[in-house]
A and B are shown apart, each in its own frame.
Chain A
Amino acid sequence: MAGDALTSGEYIKHHLTNLTFGQHPDGSWGIAHSAAEAKEMGFWAIHVDTMFWSIGLGVLFLYFFSKAAKTATQGVPGGLQNFVEWIVEFIDTSVRGSFSARNSLVAPLALTIFVWIFLQNLMDLVPVDVIPELAKLLGIHYMKVVPSTDPNATFGMAIGVFLLVLFYSIKIKGVGGFAGELTLQPFSSNNPIVNLLFIPINFILEFVSLIAKPISLALRLFGNMYAGEMIFILIAIMYNAGLILGLFGGVLQLGWAIFHILIITLQAFIFMTLTIVYLDMAHHEH
């Protein structure tokens, strides 16, 4: 539980602050001791907790999956292999369903996105105070355990996907083809002069829809997870408000956690599916 000295506002704020490592205004490097201090560090700072949890979960994912892959036999599969194969086949079906070109990168990309985001989201189901309190015992004062509630994490992945979309758009269609896609549609005319006039209009429309891809990808995941975590935090505040409200909060937390299982899976799936779709669009003229 949050310390008694904290007000609800401080409690929430505390929970929403990342463990930030960066340069203090006085020039020394170190951990920020408050949200304001973290803000002052500007761009050249890093969220140690986000990086730790996301990389840790990624390594966990890769450890188990590569272990299953290494021992993958053609014979009767064991438990872990069965589970991994089940996920791999699920991803493979999804990719085959919405990606029509041939690209050996897309399926592993989709697998990584799905499992990694799912694991990141899964941290949301750990009661909000457990890990921060444990961290406090270790002398770490800020700990935000759900990497996908950090826009840096979601934008990092979305930008990765966006770069791949750009790369394949240019690789498949060429610079001219890609530029044409951005400028010569949706409006076009047989008259070259009118067509020339349409170019800026088309570019504005298409550029916005292009830029909207990574932003919507990142913000959708971030928004859902952030809102979910916020509700967990608000429920956790009820624990301090007496026995009856506390019990009520327990019931609420259980209910919200069960509902959240759906959300975390769904968000991981949506991120993956949209990635596949965007890459598919990058492979086709339209």
Chain B
Amino acid sequence: MNINLTIIGQLLSFAVFVWFTMKYVWTPIMGALETRKKEIADGLAAAERGQHEQELAKERAKDVLHEAKAQAAEIVAQAQKRAAEIVDESKDTARVEGDRILTAAQSEIEQEANRAREQLREKVGMLAVAGAEKILKKEISADAHQDIVTALAKEI
């Protein structure tokens, strides 16, 4: 309990400890703490920025999607319209073609019929001449009355 030299020893060691703490403990630790604080703040800021950007991107994506949908709908509508047009066109073409074919067929039939009629007429003329020949065997020669027979055949 005596006051003695210890007091000075304590004072000196105290001073040395404080100096040491200041130089080798406090400064590096505070430095590390500051750096970490800054890093965390930066990280948080970056995260916030990222979130913001993500929101923006989402918005943008929604817009793009919207646009794409609209475009798709438009394309579909156009395609449908075009399809209807094509169907109409082909219907028209088909009708015209059908008409043409029909007309051609009708005219051919008519020609055929005419030709048949012609042939029939000739045949009948000839038959009539043959019949007349048989009846009039002696009196009428085919050569002598050729023009009459032809005229008859034409009238039939």
Contacts and interface: CB of A to CB of B under 8 A. Distances in A.
A151 B1 contact: yes
Given A89-B33, A104-B22, A111-B26, A152 B7 contact: yes
Contact of A153 (B10, B17, B26, B35): B10
Interface in A239-284: none
Contacts of A73: 32
Contact of B39 (A18, A41, A58, A74): A74
Interface string B50-73: 000000000000000000000000
B17 A112 contact: yes
Contacts of A39: 2
Please tell me the size bucket of the interface on A: 35 or more
Contacts of B30: 88, 92, 107
Contacts of B9: 46, 51, 152, 156
Interface in A13-52: 16, 18, 20, 22, 38-39, 41-47, 50-51
A70 interface: yes
A199 interface: no
A229 interface: no
A72 B4 contact: no
B1 to A, nearest CB: 7
B151 interface: no
A74 B6 contact: no
Interface stretch (A60-68, A122-130, A134-142, A179-187): A60-68
Interface string B1-28: 1111111111101110110111011111
A69 B2 contact: no
Contacts of A66: 20, 24-25
Contact of B29 (A44, A58, A69): A69
Contacts, number: 140
Given A55-B13, A112-B21, A157-B10, A152 B4 contact: yes
Please tell me the size bucket of the interface on B: 20 to 34
A43 B28 contact: no
A99 to B, nearest CB: 14
Given A45-B4, A50-B6, A159 B11 contact: yes
Kindly name the residue among A62, A85, A89, A108 whose own CB sees the greatest number of chain B CB atoms within 10 A.
A108
B7 A108 contact: no
A84 interface: yes
B118 to A, nearest CB: 115
Nearest to B38: A74
B18 A112 contact: yes
28 contacts: A18-B6, A20-B2, A54-B13, A66-B20, A66-B25, A69-B24, A69-B25, A69-B28, A69-B29, A70-B24, A73-B32, A74-B35, A74-B39, A84-B29, A85-B29, A85-B33, A105-B22, A109-B18, A109-B21, A111-B25, A112-B21, A147-B10, A150-B1, A153-B7, A156-B7, A156-B10, A157-B10, A160-B11
Interface of A: 16, 18, 20, 22, 38-39, 41-47, 50-51, 54-55, 58, 61-62, 65-66, 68-70, 72-75, 84-85, 88-89, 92, 104-105, 107-109, 111-112, 116, 147, 150-153, 155-157, 159-160
Interface of B: 1-11, 13-15, 17-18, 20-22, 24-33, 35-36, 39
Given A47-B4, A112-B14, A156-B10, 15 more contacts: A22-B4, A42-B4, A46-B4, A47-B6, A69-B24, A69-B27, A69-B32, A70-B28, A72-B29, A85-B32, A88-B29, A108-B18, A111-B25, A151-B3, A160-B15
In the complex, the 10 A-B pairs of residues with the closest C-beta atoms, listed nearest first: A156-B10, A152-B6, A72-B32, A108-B22, A108-B26, A69-B28, A47-B6, A156-B11, A65-B25, A152-B7
